[in-house]
Amino acid sequence: MNTTRTVLITGANKSIGYETARQLGRLGYRAWLGCRDVARGEAALKSLVAEGHDVRLLTIDVTRDESVRAAAARVRDEDGRLDVLINNAGIPGDPHAAPSQQPMENIRAVYETNVFGPIRVTQSFVPLLKSAGRGTVVMVSSRLGSMGRLFDPANQCYGVNILGYNSSKSALNAVALAFAKELASVGIKVDAVDPGYTATDFNNHSGYRTVKQAAAGIVWLATQNPTEPSGRFYFEQDQIPL
């Protein structure tokens, strides 16, 4: 059985997920690159291996039960456990549609990836996190899911009124809290993190933060002692309101 600390990152073939794998690789982690697109995943794998990182490609579609179960079975068979799970995969939906005009099928797609995906993946990998003795789950969320910020006219988030995406991240924060409350007794820490407004394909690279800055906050949270308080929401290294 592998004794190297292991991490699974969903949506790891590019941007924040890819950079998170790189930074954790520098800390000695074996990173499972969770990717739906095999070709892009293989390109990411090749690049990280060339840098000397211990990485493996894991084909996983977080919206499909059978794909997630198969991914969990492979990690179980090859490593026997998982130390850190980072639920990073997400989609924006239609950020330009008014709430009254966003199609239901679009909202459903957002929830399937951003909410049901992390639930599905976490439920499937809990046995492997338990096998590690102590484990960590990080939900990559957004301050756009913070009800307090969205309700405050003085906050910069107030004017970003994206029904599907914002509410999916509010739901994800609640999902993180629910898992945190259940799993604390078995030594598994679950928290949410806001990577900030980062320049990625999500926003046509209009964000003011780099993927290195975004990943650094995720890596910090992923490497905290699992015995510390759970069910929190962070930006960089500061706790922020859910």
| pLDDT at 172 exceeding the cut of 80 | yes
Burial class (CB in 10 A: 0-12, 13-18, 19+), 193: buried
Q: What is the pLDDT of residue 46?
A: 97
Task: Check 29, 111, 165, 197 and give the catalytic one.
Answer: 165
Q: pLDDT tens, 1-43?
A: 467 899 999 999 999 999 999 999 999 999 999 999 999 999 9
The total domain count for the chain is 1
Using alpha carbons, select from 82, 30, 79 the residue that is nearest to residue 53.
30
Exactly one of 29, 111, 169, 189 is catalytic; which is it?
169
Give how far the C-alpha of residue 49 lies from the chain's centroid of Cα atoms, to the nearest Å: 22
Residue 1 placed within a domain: no
CA distances from 217 to 17, 41, 141, 164, 239 (A): 12, 23, 12, 25, 11
**Cα distance between residue 44 and residue 53, in whole Å:** 11
What domain range includes position 56? 6-239
Q: Respond yes or no: is residue 169 known to be catalytic.
A: yes
User: Is 17 among the domain residues?
Assistant: yes
> pLDDT, tens digit, for every residue of 121-156?
999 999 999 999 999 999 999 999 998 888 889 988
On the 0-12 / 13-18 / 19+ scale of CB atoms within 10 A, 184 is: middle
Mean pLDDT value across residues 223-240: 93
Question: Is the pLDDT reported for residue 171 higher than 70?
Answer: yes
Alpha helices in the chain, H assignment, sequence order = 15-26, 38-50, 65-78, 104-111, 117-131, 147-151, 163-183, 211-222
CATH code of residue 55? 3.40.50.720
Residue 60 within a domain? yes
pTM for the model stands at 0.96
